[in-house]
Amino acid sequence: MNAPAYNFAYLDEQTKRMIRRAILKAIAIPGYQVPFASREMPMPYGWGTGGVQVTAAILGPQDVLKVIDQGSDDTTNAISIRKFFGKTAGVATATSTADATVIQTRHRIPEAPLHAGQVLVYQVPIPEPLRFLEPRETETRRMHALAEYGLMHVKLYEDIARFGHIATSYAYPVKVNARYVMDPSPTPKFDNPKMDNCAALQLFGAGREKRIYAIPPHTDVVSLDFKDHPFTRYRFDAPCALCGAGDSYLDEIVTDDKGGRMFVCSDTDYCEARQHAGHRGSESAAPHKERAHG
Amino acid sequence: MAERQDVTPDDQPLLVADHLGKNYGRLTACRDVSFALYPGEVLAIVGESGSGKSTLLQLLSAQLAPSAGRVSYRMRDGVLRDLASLGEAERRFLFRTDWGYVHQDPAQGLRMAVSAGANVGERLMAVGWNHYGQIRDTASTWLERVEIDTARIDDAPRTYSGGMRQRLQIARNLVTEPRLVFMDEPTGGLDVSVQARLLDLMRNLVSELGLAAIVVTHDLAVARLLSHRVMVMKGGRVIETGLTDQVLDDPREPYTQLLVSSILPA
């Protein structure tokens, strides 16, 4: 008999049951941080131990897994997590957003709209939105319980007082289902509107902090703001240099030490799909040259 | 002002303490304290260290549960309610709207790392204010009222002097127009000239706003300047109570006589 070296998806079944219970509770109370007995994973904290545990708990043999790190399918973190589950669960992996059933992500939400049946798993470093405002964890839990969220606006007030606008550009606090204030993990605030009324299930895992929270499909997610300083998305004012997209979130890439730079889509799958469809940006290689390298 | 007096007529007590007591194990910190506080009235609790003043203040402000007796407070709807019967959410709401609490150490009552404007505005945002311009205008009005230069509205209180911090703490507490303010040694640790200025400010604010206040102090000068009535505590008991002038000028109890006579002549 060919006994596998690991249980399916690395974690043992009892651990997965425990995590699933936490996930179910998180889905039942949208935005509420559910404590769970986070395990040591074969990777350092900060590399997605929370996300990996959530993914391991929900993954089935039929699932297709996509992993992105800062929107990219081919960075170290994304590749090693994809390989990890390829090896320990034997699931199919993909880079296409539309084909994947489970998408583990760090710092981005894919540009292509998610559809029903998909699960987006976020890696979360700091689940507590009030962390740097109120140092006592006992107190922040009480504030969540009593829905005392004035302090969250203090942070936004400080931004406007200092910079003239709400300068928080990532981990922008949101209110889920008109109840819990939640940290959407360090995604850029550009992605916040995508969480609202999303067709896919969104799960958040924080391994070091031992917390899981969730946004069920089609839940109201509102970014906090002031009446006279409403929430605004932010993106560099440029088209993607590779695919010419004018609506995607862009990475700034420094190309030399003389101030040269280019802006390209942070979502590599979105960018490649557009290039295949024939879209071109200012820096695209000419099609015949690509063919010459063939 | 007039509107608030309609809600709470002056002839009905705002806060009633009824045979309050607190034991820490065998140690009795406070026993059998009863009094009524009326709207607009300032009550000073004086006594030496360890006499139970601070415990009493914590009992009155519902931060400690009493071992005996009870505290009742007349809510804005005019109903006198036992503080122990309030839920935690109600109690905390009361604490950040209808009450103020001025700590001796401003670092306890302020958020030292956020700007003065946000410190004052926090209570407003906590009760649902959602307009930056209005919050900021209100904050700067209050900074003016407590004589802090509005140019420093964006500075964090840790860059403030001790006296400014204490004034900022007062502004932060008064911004929601509370009806009752608790003060725990509000002038402790400040130098004499700063104390005088702070006392002057507090006396004006209290009379302008018609605040009721309970001031715990070991400094009889503070009691004389601010309060209408004085309660003298010793060993957890109230040993003498009466109008401030009467108690301080003509003390009956030997201990009060000792307290009064131990003030250094100016």
Write the ipTM: 0.85
Which is it for strands A221-223 and A174-176: parallel, antiparallel or unpaired?
Answer: antiparallel
pLDDT band, residue B1 (cuts 50/70/90): very low
Q: Check pLDDT > 90 for residue A291.
A: no
- CA dist A104 and A288 (Å) reads 36
Mean pLDDT for B134-138 is 96
Q: Check pLDDT > 80 for residue B3.
A: no
Q: Check pLDDT > 60 for residue B261.
A: yes
Least confident of A23-37, A205-219, B2-16: B2-16
Q: Considering only CB atoms, which chain B residues are within 8 Å of A142?
A: 88
Q: Check pLDDT > 50 for residue B2.
A: no
* DSSP sequence for A163-226: HSS----BS--EEETTTEEE---S-BGGGHHHHTT-SSEEEEEETTTTEEEEE-TT--EEE--B
Cα-only R_g, chain B: 18
Q: Which residue type, as a one-letter code, is found at position B205?
A: L
pLDDT band, residue B190 (cuts 50/70/90): confident
- Joined tokens for residue B180: 């009752």
**Predicted pLDDT at A284:** 76
Residues in chain A: 294
Asked if A158 and B133 come within 8 Å (Cβ–Cβ), the reply is no
> Which residue on chain B is closest to A163 by alpha carbon?
B154
Q: Which residue type, as a one-letter code, is found at position B73?
A: Y
CA-closest candidate to residue B44, choices B183, B249, B147: B183
Catalytic-role residue among A198, A205, A207, A271: A271
**Predicted pLDDT at B10:** 67
3-state secondary structure of A274: helix
Q: Considering only CB atoms, which chain B residues are within 8 Å of A153?
A: 125, 130
Number of other CB atoms surrounding residue A217 within 10 Å: 17
Active site includes A243? yes
Q: Check pLDDT > 80 for residue A51.
A: yes
- pLDDT averaged over every residue in chain A: 93
pLDDT band, residue A288 (cuts 50/70/90): low
Catalytic-role residue among A50, A198, A240, A281: A240
pLDDT band, residue B192 (cuts 50/70/90): confident
> Which residue on chain B is closest to A229 by alpha carbon?
B132
Within 13 A of A68's CA, how many CA atoms are on the CB side? 25
**B240 close to A (CB below 8 A):** no
Asked if B123 and A157 come within 8 Å (Cβ–Cβ), the reply is no
List helix spans (H) across chain B.
2-7, 53-60, 88-97, 106-109, 116-126, 132-145, 162-174, 192-209, 220-226, 244-249, 254-261
Asked if A157 and B132 come within 8 Å (Cβ–Cβ), the reply is yes
Q: Check pLDDT > 60 for residue A126.
A: yes
From residue A152, alpha-carbon distances to A159, A169, B157 in Å are: 11, 15, 19
Mean pLDDT for A214-232 is 96
Which pLDDT tens digit goes with each residue over B29-79?
Answer: 999 999 999 999 999 999 888 888 989 999 999 999 999 999 999 998 889
**Predicted pLDDT at A289:** 54
Q: Considering only CB atoms, which chain B residues are within 8 Å of A154?
A: 111, 114, 118, 121-122, 125
Q: In this structure, are residues B82 and B24 in contact, taking their beta carbons and an 8 Å threshold?
A: no
From residue A98, alpha-carbon distances to A11, A57, A94, A114, A216 in Å are: 27, 22, 9, 7, 19
Output the pTM of the full model. 0.87
Which is it for strands A261-265 and A250-254: parallel, antiparallel or unpaired?
Answer: antiparallel
Q: In this structure, are residues A50 and A208 in contact, taking their beta carbons and an 8 Å threshold?
A: yes
**B90 close to A (CB below 8 A):** no
Q: In this structure, are residues B20 and B192 in contact, taking their beta carbons and an 8 Å threshold?
A: no
Mean pLDDT for A68-86 is 94
Mean pLDDT for A162-166 is 93
Mean pLDDT for A163-174 is 94
pLDDT band, residue B191 (cuts 50/70/90): confident
- Percent of chain B past pLDDT 70, that is, above it, reads 95
- pLDDT averaged over every residue in chain B: 90
**Predicted pLDDT at A293:** 52
**B130 close to A (CB below 8 A):** yes
Which pLDDT tens digit goes with each residue over A256-271?
Answer: 999 999 999 999 999 9
**Predicted pLDDT at B264:** 66
Kindly tell me the number of DSSP H helices and DSSP E strands found in chain B: 11, 10
